[in-house]
Amino acid sequence: MKQLSGKHILLGVTGSIAAYKSAELVRLLRDAGTEVRVVMTPGAGSFITPLTLQALSGHPVYSELLDAGAEAAMGHIELARWADAVVVAPASADFIARLAQGRANDLLAAICLASEVPLAVAPAMNRAMWENAATVENIDTLRRRHIRIMGPAEGAQACGEVGPGRLLEPEQLLDALSALFRTGSLAGCRVLVTAGPTREAIDPVRYISNRSSGKMGFAVATAVAEAGADVTLVSGPVALQTPQRVTRIDVEDAAAMYAVVLEHAAACDIFISVAAVADYRPVTTAHRKLKKSAAGLNLELQANPDILAAVAVLPDAPFTVGFAAETDGLESNARHKLVTKGIDMIAANNVADGQGFDRDDNALQVLWMDGEAQLARTGKARLARQLVEIIARLYAGKRRGTTVVSLNAKDTA
């Protein structure tokens, strides 16, 4: 269940006798490292108490669409944006029908309608209700909308009948949820990612650096691993845990990052340069601490090697993706970098007024020679998954010799 670690899962519970399984699912999700928020329909409270799910999730349980406090801040939208995935388990026949019709007449339905992340439903109902033509049509509608249908299982039912319609067991639901994040879009690919800042030493205690936390690069490495790739992450100094299924190499300065990247780049299929590499370093580095002087200190700087450009000109270069952090002229500066460095794609973000750096959210304008995509502000983990799906499509298109003109967040959710 490594794909679930660190994820935000919104669990919807509807009116069904199988709601008791939701409590165990919450426990399993927490054990897998997820943060869980629970939303109950009005009917769900007849089968399981909100207090039970609150105690297991560690968060208040939400149920009222028109809660004055929450809706003053558009609570249903905030919950939809918070989640990395939404799963409704159990999903009653009535809720499935309302979801197919696009209704938003309770909090859970409104969240599903407002969500742009993977959405899954786990049906639970009598076998005759499951086999009814109306339910069959509703399920087909949800599948056409790329909503995942988890189950149902077959067996003895609460009504005494036997057949399809049982809610999957919590362990099966956990496995199905984990699969939501295994896209396989980069299966078999070798991907090299850089992340974090570099530190260019002035003396043994001082250095030149920047505000990069490494969060975006680590999120990209995680998303690439979820997409099935073999990932090597080259990181500057950061206080972050190594993503699962990722090989990490730590470096200190730009020269070291350059050497490691060039050592590995020729053997990779895709290179994603997220690191905020220092453009300059001191010409000389003092071996002893420089003492403070009233006269001030003058530093002579020289340019660091351009890692991104060096990879782009390699013989049989990998599919190369750059990042551009800009305070103005976002698109024009990013497109100039795309062209002058000869790379395949660039992801640009506005870092004016503290945006982007050392935060948990970001927004990206993604550019390539024949098109672009706008990725709206969201958590960096979700943003990274959207970006990686674009990279996967463009990489596959380049290998086939086809062109992708435009994509948006919904195409990559």
Q: Where in the sequence numbering do the catalytic residues fall?
A: 159
* Cβ–Cβ under 8 Å, residues 272 and 220: yes
Which residues, including other chains, have CB under 8 Å from residue 269's CB and lie 6 or more apart?
189, 190, 191, 318, 319, 395
* Cβ–Cβ under 8 Å, residues 379 and 7: no
The residue written with tokens 């948990």 in the block is 360
How many other C-beta atoms lie within 10 A of the C-beta of residue 200? 23
Pair type for strands 280-282 and 301-303:
antiparallel
The vertex-273 CA angle with 263 and 250, nearest 5°, equals 55
Q: What is the Cα–Cα distance from 325 to 155, expressed in whole angstroms?
A: 56
Listed residue (158, 121, 126) closest to 140, CA to CA: 121
The structure tokens listed for 253 are 């300065």
CA 273 to chain centre: 17
Instruction: Classify 354 in phi/psi space as left (phi over 0), alpha (psi -120 to 50) or beta.
Output: left
The structure tokens listed for 6 are 């660190």
